[in-house]
Structure 1
Amino acid sequence: MKDVIKISTVAFNATWGDKQVNLNRMLGYVDAAAAEGANLIVFTEMGLTGYDDEEEDKPQSEKMQTKLAETVPGPSSEAMAQKAKELGVYIAFGLPERDKDDASVIYNAACVCGPEGVIGSYHKIHLPFPEPHWATRGDEPFIFETPWGPVGLGICYDTYCFQELMRYYAAKGCRLYVNCTALAKCHGVALGSTTLEAGSIVNQIYIVSANLAGKDLYNDFWGGSSIIGPSTKFWEAEYFAGYPFTDPRAAENRMYTATVDLTLATREKFKPNALIGGATDFRPAVYRKLYEDLLQDPKFQE
């Protein structure tokens, strides 16, 4: 398994509602990233179409996200896959995905393509306002295999407010977590960078985060795409590329690239600990009991 990987992440000012323009721009960024030697290129949540919802009383069938949604594989993912094959890279990008079996079901999704073609897609598990106006919740994690080991993927709210997903990926051996996101200034100053840094520290994992930048339909997005990982300083996180969300330089539409050494993602809490009989500090059997107790409450049942 390889340990050193070069990653590019794009702070992307999507053109709202113009899929072809956004796709062409993303393909151009992939060319540029590959020319710099990048192995993995990450784009934002809903980068293919733009993020913002329209008026709440507009029927779901008339929403921009519904109209522009595609299946995976589909036209845009196939175009990305062809580029990934041509350049020998991995690409993650956000889009509204139409369910293959029920065209009325749309997911807030992130598609992953690699040298072998379309690898698959992740459906966002946690949907904040206003996404339930057009999207259906997913219910499965998504790990894709690379020469650098398994990589886990989440989208925005999944990452900032529900640490279970990143913790699961780290316990499964992922040294790298991809966060496709659309974090707007209306979400406040603390949510994004604070939780990404904490996630990297407590899980000893690298996080590559790609955020929308600038004005969408009406929201102003932070930008702040970054590559964060474990520091050589004990229990600290390091920015290997990019900026925290609230940094004045973060809002520009630009690409950040860094080479990182994944061996720093030690994930000690998930390794056998001789002091406790060879078990791990991480205790899923205990957590299962806690969650089974919570499931007795109807409000937590699906």
Structure 2
Amino acid sequence: MTPLNYPELIRYVRAMGARLHISCTANSALANPLDAETGRPLICTELEGLVLQNWCYIATACLCGTDHHDYFIGGSSILGPSAAGTGVYYYAGHPYFAPKGQAMLMHTAAIDLSYADDGVLPIFKPNPNTGTPDLLPSIYAEMFNSVAKTRRWRSMNPPQNNVAWKIYDNKHIYVTVSHDTSKR
């Protein structure tokens, strides 16, 4: 599992100011189904959705080729919002499962991270219609607190997390998580 599997984590670090998310992965063909209608890997849709929803860049480094019993889908890339504001653009590399993405290569690109802040998505800056950002942390806190209090969530007996945060110069966030399973 990578943080890419948790869209709320990407949203959190983006709201804290991160503009580039780097993910080193080993995504296997077995764990990444294809969309029945389009034939595209669902992970491509997920990554592109994260870019568009959070107006950020994602750099992935993914294992490719066969290793023992599994086939790894390659697709190392750097993707982000297009400068034209028309969707997602692959600045380097290729999507998962793409034939060109199966080559073991190093991909580099020059990207302008300021575009993540200056782009067209108003979620992290004041909306001209309301004067406030569309993302309001207090509303998210209320929503997640109400989820934690539901019988459905409590019945799943989720582990209690001990999370340690360390923020350096408002640019770097380091997180350590440990699970307390003694209460299960």
Structure 2-normalised TM-score?
0.72
Which residue among 10, 17, 20 is the counterpart of 1:166? 10
User: Any residues of structure 2 matched to 1:11-26 within 5 Å, and which?
Assistant: none
> Quick check: 1:231 aligned with 2:85?
no
Deviations 1:220-241 (A, max 9, x none): 0011000001102334010000
Q: Does 1:181 align with 2:25?
A: yes
Q: Aligned partners of 1:201, 1:211: CA distance in 2, in Å?
A: 21
- Partner AA of 1:188 in structure 2: P
Q: Structure 1 vs Structure 2: percent identity of aligned residues?
A: 34
Task: After TM superposition, give the deviation of residue 291 of structure 1 in Å.
Answer: 1.1
Deviations 1:157-209 (A, max 9, x none): x30x3201111111011111111111111122323211111111111101101
Partner of 1:275: 129
User: Is the CA contact 1:295–1:301 (under 8 Å) kept in the aligned structure 2?
Assistant: no
Asked whether the equivalents of residues 206 and 230 of structure 1 are also in contact (C-alpha less than 8 Å), the reply is yes
Whether 1:195 aligns to 2:12 is: no
Are residues 236 and 171 of structure 1, via their aligned partners in 2, closer, same or farther at CA, if it must alter by over 3 Å?
same
For residues 300 and 229 of structure 1, what CA distance do their matches in structure 2 show?
Answer: 37
**Residues 202/229 of structure 1: CA separation in 2 closer, same or farther (3 Å cut):** same
Pick from 126, 136, 143 the counterpart of residue 290 of structure 1.
143
Separation of aligned partners in 2, 1:219 and 1:211: 14
For residue 260 of structure 1, what is the aligned residue in structure 2?
111
| Aligned positions, number | 145
Deviation track 1:94-142 (CA, whole Å, cap 9, x = no partner) reads xxxxxxxxxxxxxxxxxxxxxxxxxxxxxxxxx5xxxxxxxxxxxxxxx
Match for 1:211: what amino acid?
C
Cα distance in 1, alignment partners of residues 143 and 9 from structure 2: 17
- Per-residue deviation, residues 267-292 of structure 1 (Å, max 9, x unmatched): 5311123532x421002211212211
Partners of 1:300 and 1:273 in 2: CA distance: 39
Give structure 1 stretches of 5+ with no counterpart: 1-126, 128-154
Matched residue SS, 1:293 = helix
For residue 185 of structure 1, give the secondary structure of its aligned residue in structure 2.
coil
CA offsets 1:57-83 (integer angstroms, 9 cap, x no match): xxxxxxxxxxxxxxxxxxxxxxxxxxx
Q: Secondary structure at the match of 2:72?
A: strand
TM-score by length of 1: 0.45
Q: Distance in 2 between matches of 1:181 and 1:199?
A: 16
Unpaired runs of 5+ residues, structure 2, are 35-40, 160-184
Query: Could you say if the C-alpha distance between residues 291 and 300 of structure 1 is closer, same or farther in structure 2, counting changes exceeding 3 Å?
Result: farther
Contact 1:210 1:225 survives alignment (8 Å) = yes
> What RMSD in Å do the two structures reach over aligned CA positions?
1.7
Asked if 1:205 corresponds to 2:56, the answer is yes
Q: Secondary structure at the match of 1:259?
A: coil
Tell me how far apart the structure 2 counterparts of residues 286 and 300 of structure 1 sit (CA, whole Å). 24
Per the alignment, in what secondary structure is the counterpart of residue 208 of structure 1?
strand
